[in-house]
A and B are shown apart, each in its own frame.
Chain A
Amino acid sequence: MKLTNEELEILAILEENHRVPVETIAIQIQLSEEKVQQIIKKLEDEKIIISYPALIDWTKIDGKENIEAMIDVKVTPKRGVGFDEVAERIYRFPEVTSLYLMSGTYDLSVTVEGKTMKEIAMFVSEKLSTIENVISTTTHFMLKKYKHDGVIIEGKQDKDRRMVVSP
């Protein structure tokens, strides 16, 4: 699907901060509020904008720290449906937060969230490994998040080091 420059600009604004009011967007890209509203609705209807989640650092909240694991899964694809059917069986579990089909030495990359390591271990051994067509799993526990969805979480951010007035 080809988008206009205005549509692309609205996406760039919302991707950075989806709470910018329509009024401000309209001023920034020199369109009427109605037109901006219309474009956003179109982008939502077309599922180009899928949702507006907030990026939350749960590790900062006592009792809410989750453990995450990325699991490499090898699968035997099924005639007629390929990987899609087994993928669906996996992504329907609520503890699965992302699922990608990969090229390379394994097939599916599954991200799983749980409260404890034990919880994740249970999920892998009892739910994931037992699915028909799953040949093997390799579980990697995530130790630290440096950057997520383009946002630096842990580490050095670029600071504004400019002088307060300059020519």
Chain B
Amino acid sequence: MSLDYERYLANTANHLQPSGIRKFFDLAASMKGVISLGVGEPDFTTPWNIRETAIAALEEGFTSYTANAGLIELRQEISTYLEKSFHVQYQAENQIIVTVGASQALDLAFRAILNPGDEVLIIEPAFVSYAALVSIAGGNPIAIPTYASNGFKVTAKQIENAITAKTKAILLCSPNNPTGTYLNKQDLLEIAAIIEKHDLLVLSDEIYSELTYDEKYTSIVTIPGMYERTILINGFSKGFAMTGWRLGFLAAPPELTSVMVKIYQYTTMCAPNMLQHGAIEALRNSYDQVETMRQSYRRRRNYIVHALNSIGLDCHIPGGAFYVFPSIIRTGLTSEEFAEQLLKQQKVAVVPGSAFGESGEGYIRCSYATSMQQLQEAISRMKVFLEPLLVREV
């Protein structure tokens, strides 16, 4: 007897849009000899001292649960890290939670703050999870589109126009995935004024904060009036090349963390003990390696922006992360068509901009977290792919 599974599934979950990246992954994974600019994670393996510390922790038998919010030593290191980076005080005892990736931190935050129908402003193009996480938590994601003409920065006016009586929070991600856009202090000051005026909460996804290339990172929590209303989300994945460890953290006022930690204790209990030991080592002794990686990304960013522009794809120079978001409008193709044809004809994988929201249409995301040799080969293949497309246009 076959069951009518539709009847059993929850509406929200059942109607979630599958990620636009998934389809591409399936196609690319089935081909050989693909050069991928589609990878959203560092090409470095986690620095050895961090790995070695986690191995030692496992050998020493750190295999039990930890406190829900994470090992106190790790929370103290995170507190020190935030203080050193931004001169802000977060108490290790009651303001920091170590999570299973920054993704879980986002999930906890949305579940803790959203009532059915509450609206969350999301600046698009945006990371694929945001809107889905808001929906799962019962809220309504409200997209604010951004454009290349403004360096994919959101303006205060756009935010103000999107605010309704139901708006509860705004999610900011700087540097941004997929555009690489970095919001500097001036940008944040303008945004903060609107946030304060309309009494919103801020979810600040700072997962790429270690990867800014032209100026030192500014967190929105350093803007006057924002600390009290911000849930700061960060993690070890990008800066420390620890994506597969699934270790993130959040820092917020205790009135918010106390609710989030309740959800955490019932859903997950804690992040893996031995891995948290690795994270302590990351924060204590890895800044030289983070800096080496940062410089390496910066050089590759400069190369790929120059190379894409020279083969006919207009591309702004992003301030951070490891993505560039060039325009493919001149080719006359949609971003999905472009990505699919490029993959089939030249075996270069990129992600169509439309996967990151409607305003990503007309663009592709290229990750430069891959070796210079691979980048150069990808560019020469893309050049071959583009030639007939760009000639036809004239």
Q: Is the beta-carbon distance between B295 and A166 smaller than 8 angstroms?
A: no
Q: Across the interface, which residues of A come within 8 angstroms of B34, CB to CB?
A: 164
Q: Does A149 contact B (CB under 8 A)?
A: no
**Separation of A27 and B302 alpha carbons in the complex (Å):** 6
- The contact of B40 among A12, A28, A160, A167, by CB within 8 Å, is A167
Q: Is the beta-carbon distance between B38 and A165 smaller than 8 angstroms?
A: yes
- A98 CB → nearest B CB, Å: 26
Q: Mark B181-213, 1 if CB is under 8 A from A, else 0.
A: 000000000000000000000000000000000
Would A166 and B40 be within 8 Å (CB), given that A27-B306, A158-B45 are in contact? yes
Q: Is the beta-carbon distance between B39 and A162 smaller than 8 angstroms?
A: yes
Q: Across the interface, which residues of A come within 8 angstroms of B292, CB to CB?
A: 12
Would A28 and B302 be within 8 Å (CB), given that A166-B25, A167-B128 are in contact? yes
Q: Across the interface, which residues of A come within 8 angstroms of B127, CB to CB?
A: 167
Q: Does B63 contact A (CB under 8 A)?
A: no
Q: Mark A58-69, 1 if CB is under 8 A from B, else 0.
A: 000000000000
- A86 CB → nearest B CB, Å: 37
**Separation of A12 and B298 alpha carbons in the complex (Å):** 13
Q: Mark B20-42, 1 if CB is under 8 A from A, else 0.
A: 01001100110000101011110
Q: Does B284 contact A (CB under 8 A)?
A: no
- B47 CB → nearest A CB, Å: 11
Q: Does B43 contact A (CB under 8 A)?
A: yes
Q: Is the beta-carbon distance between B43 and A160 smaller than 8 angstroms?
A: yes
Q: Does B299 contact A (CB under 8 A)?
A: yes
Which interface class (under 10, 10 to 19, 20 to 34, 35 or more) fits B? 20 to 34
Q: Mark B281-311, 1 if CB is under 8 A from A, else 0.
A: 0000000000010010001101100110000
Q: Is the beta-carbon distance between A27 and B303 smaller than 8 angstroms?
A: yes
**Separation of A24 and B376 alpha carbons in the complex (Å):** 10
Q: Does A9 contact B (CB under 8 A)?
A: yes
- B393 CB → nearest A CB, Å: 26
- B186 CB → nearest A CB, Å: 23
A160 and chain B: residue at smallest CB distance: B43
Q: Is the beta-carbon distance between B299 and A163 smaller than 8 angstroms?
A: no
**Separation of A30 and B295 alpha carbons in the complex (Å):** 13
Q: Which of A76-120 contact B (CB under 8 A)?
A: none
A27 and chain B: residue at smallest CB distance: B306
Q: Most B CB atoms within 10 A — which of A9, A27, A160, A166?
A: A166
Q: Does B275 contact A (CB under 8 A)?
A: no
Would A167 and B36 be within 8 Å (CB), given that A9-B299, A28-B299 are in contact? no
**Separation of A142 and B96 alpha carbons in the complex (Å):** 51
Which interface class (under 10, 10 to 19, 20 to 34, 35 or more) fits A? 10 to 19
Q: Does B49 contact A (CB under 8 A)?
A: no
Q: Mark A18-33, 1 if CB is under 8 A from B, else 0.
A: 0010001001111000
- A74 CB → nearest B CB, Å: 35
**Separation of A13 and B298 alpha carbons in the complex (Å):** 12
Q: Is the beta-carbon distance between A164 and B28 smaller than 8 angstroms?
A: yes
- A160 CB → nearest B CB, Å: 7
Q: Does B115 contact A (CB under 8 A)?
A: no
Would A167 and B19 be within 8 Å (CB), given that A9-B295, A162-B39, A162-B43 are in contact? yes
A5 and chain B: residue at smallest CB distance: B295
Q: Which A residues are within 8 Å of any B CB, using their own CB?
A: 9, 12-13, 20, 24, 27-30, 158, 160, 162-167
Q: Which 9 A-B pairs rank lowest in CB-CB distance, beginning with the nearest?
A: A165-B38, A28-B299, A158-B45, A165-B25, A164-B28, A166-B40, A27-B306, A164-B36, A167-B128
5 contacts between A and B (CB under 8 A): A162-B36, A164-B38, A164-B349, A165-B28, A167-B177
Q: Which B residues are within 8 Å of any A CB, using their own CB?
A: 19, 21, 24-25, 28-29, 34, 36, 38-41, 43, 45, 127-129, 177, 292, 295, 299-300, 302-303, 306-307, 349, 351, 372
Further pairs besides A164-B39, A165-B25, A167-B177: 13, Cβ < 8 Å:
A9-B295, A13-B299, A162-B41, A162-B43, A165-B28, A165-B29, A165-B36, A165-B349, A165-B351, A166-B21, A166-B25, A166-B39, A167-B129
